[in-house]
Amino acid sequence: MQFYFDSRSKDCKRPFGAVKEGSKLDFNTYAQDGVFINSVVLALTDDATGQITRYQLEYKGKSDVATSMFGCRITAPKAGLYWYKFEIFSEEGITEYLNPRTKSQFQLTVYSEDYETPERFKGGVIYHIFVDRFCKEADPGVDTSTHSVYKQWNEPLTLKDADGVYRANDFYGGNFEGIISKLDYLKSLGVNIIYLSPIFRSSSNHRYDTGDYLRLDPLLGTEEKFKELIDKAKRKGIYIMLDGVFNHTGADSLYFNKFGNYDSIGAYQSKQSPYYRWYDFINYPDEYMCWWGVTVCPTVNKRAEGYRKLIFGEGGVIDKWSRMGVSAWRLDVVDELPEEFVEKIRIAVKSVSDKKLLIGEVWEDASNKISYSKRRHYLLGKELDGVMNYPFKDAIINYARGGRSKAFVDAIMTICENYPKKSLDCTMTLIGSHDTVRVLNRLSDYNISGLDKAARANVVLEGDILATAKARLKIASALQFFLPGIPSVYYGDESGMQGYEDPLCRRPMNWDSQDKELLGHYKTLGMLRKKYRSQITGSIKLYESGGVLYLERRAKEHRVVVACNTTGSAKSLNTDKTVKDLLTGNTVAAGAKLADKAVIIFAD
């Protein structure tokens, strides 16, 4: 029996993708004549309860001379995650029709009726700054001897201390004043959100081991200087996003105080400490729960009332910095946080202003993620506005390296189908971060097998290997900037910075050796993203034709198209008229050849 249903086709399901609770959904299925069908049933399963609701599809006649159509209209149930399949009752018996792509049931995401995400960030560009390494513009005016190793900008990274341990204790002094001095540079890239790595007092250069949530690290500058950054950035149309690290604190902190560096009685020092119940000790005081076994990052008990008050209470972390002018938060390792804790954070953020943005670090499909044996519901309306879109990152890089167009299209459309568009438009579309190999290295063919970290630190891409990586980066970044979500540029990627894994991907910014070609490419992408904002936040169409991958974004009758070729040979463009390549300004004739490892963008 030939039976057909494609959840991504408007002829089969309307509307596309995730839907709002209470909205109407139309399903149409098609069966080729030859087998008598008694009935077709849509079986919808609630992921939370396992309850199945069945809907009878009506016979709607012939879609052509040999194909019968069955359809139904249903009302979307309450917000949640659902799975559906079709049960076909015919003279051959009962047949189940599942998703042919996954060999399992189709997914239906239903979000809350009142779910809204802030519009002002959509269509923008995020610039991700690892603060210690971006720009140092003034003497910090503090005792730098407390920061272990304080280096000059051009000194090499510390890969490990003399005892063989890496402690992330070398500092280059990047600060708020340095970021202020580069606001015009960021504006030239089309940036409207600066995402800062953690800025609170800490003993490490990455500051993911927070020492005091209510104090800025003095090496970065004062609260007055931070407010100046917020205000000057806002005048240029740029908002500030902070990194909220709320799953764990530092062992060297006001709250734990393992090393006695704070004027407090920490949980490590005494069971009488007001912070003692914030942590879970196995064998007091030296054995305790910590993030992935990293003892400098003791895990916090998110049920502790004192901690909850600190994070989302009045005058707490979210309240203080949001009211100062911080416009967005990115939640570190959000899957380590209980859902009700994330809900409380959302309430705290939105109570200051519903125009503020809340994003979470999720590496998988956030619509159906299971964390610690529990399904998460990040994008249904009570938790996040968006997430870090690592599935897009993987798809982009795999394609740019010569992967199949079909695999790219399927990976992208899976996320587009599963996420509410409100969420999708607020996702961070990244191709690199402080946690990953620099994208230029990831896209290169340099063989690092057998090289230890010290050897990898000395690798410099050059010649044909560098040229290939740059060509691939132009493709990857063009896709990144025109796919749904907000492209997130990791500092220095736009100017050709190189480096492998942490800390090699965290070198000081290459202000004196920027790749002007790449920088010009990124500035053009930023300009195009602003110019074609309505199309970029509109509909998406992805397809392959003649070996060329096409990404089409459309708003009403206007569209912009990204065309890429990674096949290994030149391919003809599927254009019936002369177009202008918006990346280079060159005229491209109808049906012209697109070279291998090449990309063009055109609009009509």
What is the token pair recorded at 438? 């620099």
pLDDT of residue 144: 66
Q: Which amino acid is at 345?
A: I
pLDDT of residue 59: 95
Per DSSP, the three-state class of 23 is coil
What is the token pair recorded at 214? 């209510």
pLDDT of residue 18: 98
Q: Give 362-403 pLDDT, tens digit per residue.
A: 999 999 999 999 999 999 999 999 999 999 999 999 999 999
Whether residue 285 is preceded by a cis peptide bond, meaning omega within 30 degrees of 0, is yes
Number of residues assigned to the chain: 604
- Rounded to whole angstroms, how far apart are CA atoms 296 and 298? 6
Domains (ranges, CATH) in the chain? Answer: 3-111 (2.60.40.10), 248-301 (3.90.400), 533-603 (2.60.40.1180)
Whether residue 503 is preceded by a cis peptide bond, meaning omega within 30 degrees of 0, is yes
CB 367 within 8 A of CB 379: yes
Per DSSP, the three-state class of 436 is coil
Residue 189 contacts by C-beta under 8 Å, 6 or more apart in sequence? Answer: 125, 127, 489, 494, 522, 523, 526
Q: Give 12-68 pLDDT, tens digit per residue.
A: 999 999 999 999 999 999 999 888 899 999 999 999 999 999 999 999 999 887 899
Closest among 179, 243, 174 to 213, alpha carbons compared:
243
pLDDT averaged over 10-residue windows placed end to end, the chain, 604 residues = 92 98 98 89 98 97 89 98 97 94 97 97 97 91 72 95 92 97 98 98 96 97 97 98 98 98 97 98 98 96 98 97 98 98 98 98 98 97 98 98 97 98 98 97 97 97 98 98 98 98 97 98 98 96 97 95 98 94 96 96 95
- Rounded to whole angstroms, how far apart are CA atoms 443 and 432? 11
Q: Give 491-528 pLDDT, tens digit per residue.
A: 999 999 999 999 999 999 999 999 999 999 999 999 99
CB 556 within 8 A of CB 528: no
- Rounded to whole angstroms, how far apart are CA atoms 598 and 409? 18
Closest among 209, 200, 75, 228 to 131, alpha carbons compared:
200
What is the token pair recorded at 469? 């990586």
Any bridge partners for residue 210, and if so which? 202
